[in-house]
Structure 1
Amino acid sequence: MTVSRTNFAWATLVDVGGRGRLHDRLAHALRTAIRDGRLAEGDAVPPSRALAEELGCSRWVVTEAYGQLVAEGYLAARVGSATRVSWSPEASPARPRARRSPARPRIRYDLAPGLPDLRAFPRRRWADAVRSVIGSAGHYDLDLPDPAGHAVLRTTLAHYLRRSRGADADDTSVSVCAGVTDGLVRTCRALHGLGITDVAVEDPGWRRLHDAVTSAGLRVHHVPVDHDGLRVDDLAATPARAVVVGAAHQFPTGTVLSPARRAGLVRWAREVDGFVVEDDYDAEFRYDHHPVAVVQGMDPGRVFLLGTVSKTLSPALGLGWLVAPPSTVAALRSANPVAAAPPVLDQLALATFIDRGWYDAHLRASRRRFRTRRDLLLTTLSTALPRARTSGTAAGLHVLLHLPPDTDTHATVRAAASAGLRLVDLDDYRVRPAPDRALVLGYGNIGDTEIPAAVALLREALTR
């Protein structure tokens, strides 16, 4: 029997099978549930009339079982109140408990990259968007979702990407996905279906992109990145016919792909009859001038474009987009026949959020906040750690902190964690070892007032 009600322990499975009188079997089932801890001390059992109806028996059976358990001390009955469990397994001889793993140190300050300012999530306006959708959505919107995404959001995203990122997109080329990783997996499956077996990724780079490529059954080739971005000459020396690249703001180096290499990348794709997969994960955040337009606009027939709101709003929304070259749309659909689109109501809420100008307003406020926070972090680091230097374009949500060559960055990360500070070593994103020692410092999800204390802990960790 399974029943659900907030104030009663009705979700407990009561097995009254077997031989014997029904009220004895019911008492035995409830007694076992109490002894096993499935019914805890203080839990209310169902009213006798309701439980009798569920079991298809007379109310007398239930009252007899309850009376027996009251007499044994397992239940307590009070006039005008629910009958409740009055016995706890803790009263019986102690049972051996499983050993607990050591508790992780409490993190007070988070300088790891990858998150926006979760405190600044626009709760009220997002709630307004959700309420608007709930009130206006037609019954047909509540049907099984289109695997490519709702037409309203695809149209909205195409317009947004054309005006804000210089993309060449329309509703037929846009698919809604759960984020960059999901979009990349879908893309790699389509590339595999088109006969491409080798894909290049940046080194250093986000390891989940590597994992997404291999999960689609493709071979990965790592191409180094320098101060001008991906080294296209090294790319040409690999057998890859597709490459995943962060052109507007590479992670984790923070470089921007130079104009010459942007042109060279497109030329390479044409020469090998291949594709570029552009990861545009946080390009909306540029602090010294307007963000550069996407490479996809230079050759929409050769470039897939991936984007997400995980770095602008919150990863909890699980919303992203994929713009595919027109010639690959059919292959993309057929290669991902069971790919699930995000919930339709969330898709429509995002479309409303963008259409009403709230997304642009949020981005403007975020850029001001992150520019100020980045400046504060750089100033604090230069004062506290004069032997270190920072690098990375004035963009995104992280900087690189280069440390003296004799620094043990692994030990620094461990020491900081024990003091309550989360850090990430640049080596965590490398495939090939490199001599320089550096940390990847994220400033998206740390408050301005927390930065001095966080840097002070960093300095202490470096001196241990």
Structure 2
Amino acid sequence: MNRSNEGTPRRSIVSGADFLHLAIEEAPSGGKSEWLAQQIRLALADRRLPMGSRLPATRVLAGELGVSRGVVTEAYQRLAEDGYLDGRGRNGTIVVGAPAATAAAKPPPTLVGPPSPRSVFTAAPEADVFDLIRTARARIDFSPGLPDVAAFPRAAWLREERRVLDRLAASDLGYGDPRGTLALRVAVANWIARNRGIRADPGEVLVVAGTAQTLTLVGQVLRDDGISAVAIEDPGSLGARQHLRNCRLDTPPVAVDSEGVRVDELRATGAAAIFLTPAHQFPTGVVLRGSRRSELTHWASESGGLIIEDDYDAEHRYDRTPVPALRSVLANNVFYAGSVSKLLAPALRIGWVLAPPKYRDALLDAKRFADLGNAALPQLVLARFMESGALERQLRHLRRHHRRRRDTMVKAIAAHLPGATVHGAAAGLHLTITFEAGFADTDVAAAALARDVKVHPLSWHCQRPRQPGLVLGYAASPPTDISEGVATLGDVLRRMSASGT
């Protein structure tokens, strides 16, 4: 690394062939780009290429290696798509992420904290399973709901943040409207109109700290109104169920089939409200079909029933047309929740909720007494992102990016898990696989975690017995990790089958 004044490091261009010890004669004749990409991955993993390093220009590295510029360009492109590099025009290609160290270069996997893999995956549903999940670390993490945070548009966000700060009045740094900044509420109203078919006034938008806070606030408001139960899809989100139960609400299960939630079962529960993920049901990926939407509309209109609609990843679709949000036709009965956790990063803690008119004031009061409102600066930056078209561009980029990872996972499942049935691959950031074999999916997940691959057993998200399965997130893992992780799952299942467990 070059240095200006000894001992004071300066970000510099690495010397490609020499610094990485690249021997082009070792590359296969028909796969030089993939070979080069793999050599750079190894350098990233063992920290020979630290974060912030600037790689040589494609022309320079191609000259050093004696290959065509296209070979280097393709290798850089693959690494950029995997989230390791970021091409910044005249500023060059920068290292922005790194894979975990290879198995040969790191000690055997260990868990942080006391729980063993088996204790993590066989914990009772009533236990605080997420506390156990947080103690488990794995080199390849297929947990659903994890976006590719390496794809966060840092440079674009920084530009907008500077513009916001340049124009920010001193008064904007004081206590603001607990509903959120007007700029963001206007931007959200425009965004959901364009993307989700929802017509809403900015005054109806309440900015919150993600869907988790939406559930806490809505649960509190419903409880105060005398509602004691919120039905939930089965299978359905374990996290949502835990948030609602933390509000002292019962969560009776309602079955989901190929058409969506079973409205006849909903009626039978007697619950006054239900939590739904209708655009891309979690975890099955089923879309709520037209006939079920009509049934649900009748239930809501006849009984005054309420719906908490979690639109958690509706923008991420690949092989099907979008479906409108329930809120677009049931404004008087739907709490609509959205966020940018899957579009940008969960760390922003920015989401929004639209309440039925009856509950709007009560929800605002709950938010005011919870925290006086979200931080203003990131709201203003996000508003600029939405209105400038930067968020649309990010979404288009992510769709291409995630489609490639989705395709890699589906292909790997076909190769290594031929007995698995894939569900919900047309949209979202995860898919679910089910098996006919009689084994416990928690045992599979525990064995995989011991091999440094983390997955969610489907049973975690079920309140009633169901065929074994796994819920696999693919957005946060590069294609090479996806292929390796699924191959490991296949080996785990073969070993279990051979041993009779």
TM over 0.5: yes
Matches within 5 A, 1:341-420: 341-420=373-452
Question: Using the alignment, how far apart are the partners of 1:332 and 1:287 within structure 2?
Answer: 35
Q: Could you say what secondary structure the match of 1:287 adopts? A: coil
1:458: Cα distance to partner?
Answer: 1.2
**Gap runs ≥5 in structure 2:** 1-112, 117-134, 496-501
1:330 and 2:367 are equivalent in the alignment: no
1:448 and 2:483 are equivalent in the alignment: no
Contact 2:234 2:255 in 1 (8 A): yes
Q: Could you say what secondary structure the match of 2:476 adopts? A: coil
Match of 1:173 in 2: 204
Question: Using the alignment, how far apart are the partners of 1:447 and 1:323 within structure 2?
Answer: 35
Q: Could you say what secondary structure the match of 1:220 adopts? A: coil
Question: Using the alignment, how far apart are the partners of 2:136 and 2:267 within structure 1?
Answer: 46
Map Cα deviations across residues 351-384 of structure 1 (whole Å, 9 max, x no partner): 0111111100000111111122212211121112
The correspondence for 2:281, drawn from 235, 243, 250, is 250
Contact 2:406 2:425 in 1 (8 A): no
Q: Report the residue type matching 1:273 in the other structure.
A: G
Match of 2:67 in 1: none
Match of 1:423 in 2: 455
Question: Using the alignment, how far apart are the partners of 1:155 and 1:328 within structure 2?
Answer: 21
Contact 2:137 2:454 in 1 (8 A): no
1:101: Cα distance to partner?
Answer: 5.3
Matches within 5 A, 1:54-203: 107-203=138-234
Q: Could you say what secondary structure the match of 2:177 adopts? A: coil
Question: Using the alignment, how far apart are the partners of 1:126 and 1:197 within structure 2?
Answer: 42
Matches within 5 A, 1:233-312: 233-312=264-343
How many residues get paired?
A: 364
- Percent identity at matched positions? 40
Question: Using the alignment, how far apart are the partners of 1:160 and 1:445 within structure 2?
Answer: 25
Map Cα deviations across residues 84-105 of structure 1 (whole Å, 9 max, x no partner): xxxxxxxxxxxxxxxx859988
Q: Report the residue type matching 2:386 in the other structure.
A: I
Contact 1:389 1:403 in 2 (8 A): yes
Q: Report the residue type matching 1:198 in the other structure.
A: A
Question: Using the alignment, how far apart are the partners of 2:453 and 2:114 within structure 1?
Answer: 21
Question: Using the alignment, how far apart are the partners of 1:102 and 1:293 within structure 2?
Answer: 43
Judging by fraction of residues, say which structure has more helix: 2
**Gap runs ≥5 in structure 1:** 1-99
1:186: Cα distance to partner?
Answer: 1.3
Question: Using the alignment, how far apart are the partners of 2:436 and 2:248 within structure 1?
Answer: 40
Map Cα deviations across residues 45-79 of structure 1 (whole Å, 9 max, x no partner): xxxxxxxxxxxxxxxxxxxxxxxxxxxxxxxxxxx
Match of 1:77 in 2: none
Contact 1:266 1:302 in 2 (8 A): no
Map Cα deviations across residues 154-190 of structure 1 (whole Å, 9 max, x no partner): 1110111111110121111100001111112212222
The correspondence for 1:460, drawn from 486, 491, 494, is 491
1:433: Cα distance to partner?
Answer: 1.3
Q: Could you say what secondary structure the match of 2:203 adopts? A: coil
Instruction: Pick closer, same or farther for the CA change 1:253–1:348 going to 2, 3 Å.
Output: same
1:209 and 2:232 are equivalent in the alignment: no
Contact 1:194 1:331 in 2 (8 A): no
Question: Using the alignment, how far apart are the partners of 2:474 and 2:114 within structure 1?
Answer: 31
Match of 1:224 in 2: 255
Question: Using the alignment, how far apart are the partners of 1:214 and 1:455 within structure 2?
Answer: 34
Match of 1:50 in 2: none
Contact 1:105 1:418 in 2 (8 A): no
Instruction: Pick closer, same or farther for the CA change 1:393–1:296 going to 2, 3 Å.
Output: farther
Instruction: Pick closer, same or farther for the CA change 1:317–1:335 going to 2, 3 Å.
Output: closer
Map Cα deviations across residues 224-248 of structure 1 (whole Å, 9 max, x no partner): 1111111111001122111110010
Question: Using the alignment, how far apart are the partners of 2:452 and 2:243 within structure 1?
Answer: 31
Larger Rg: 1
Match of 1:40 in 2: none
1:111: Cα distance to partner?
Answer: 1.5
Contact 2:234 2:461 in 1 (8 A): yes
The correspondence for 2:347, drawn from 286, 298, 316, is 316
1:406: Cα distance to partner?
Answer: 2.5
1:106: Cα distance to partner?
Answer: 5.8
Q: Could you say what secondary structure the match of 2:409 adopts? A: helix
Contact 1:196 1:241 in 2 (8 A): yes
Map Cα deviations across residues 97-138 of structure 1 (whole Å, 9 max, x no partner): xxx859988622121211111121111111112222222111
Q: Report the residue type matching 2:191 in the other structure.
A: Y
Match of 1:48 in 2: none
With normalisation by structure 1, the TM-score equals: 0.75
Match of 2:73 in 1: none
Contact 1:177 1:342 in 2 (8 A): yes
- Kindly report structure 1 stretches of 4+ aligned residues shifted beyond 6 Å: 102-105
Contact 1:105 1:420 in 2 (8 A): no
Question: Using the alignment, how far apart are the partners of 2:136 and 2:366 within structure 1?
Answer: 44
Question: Using the alignment, how far apart are the partners of 1:315 and 1:334 within structure 2?
Answer: 25
1:310: Cα distance to partner?
Answer: 1.0
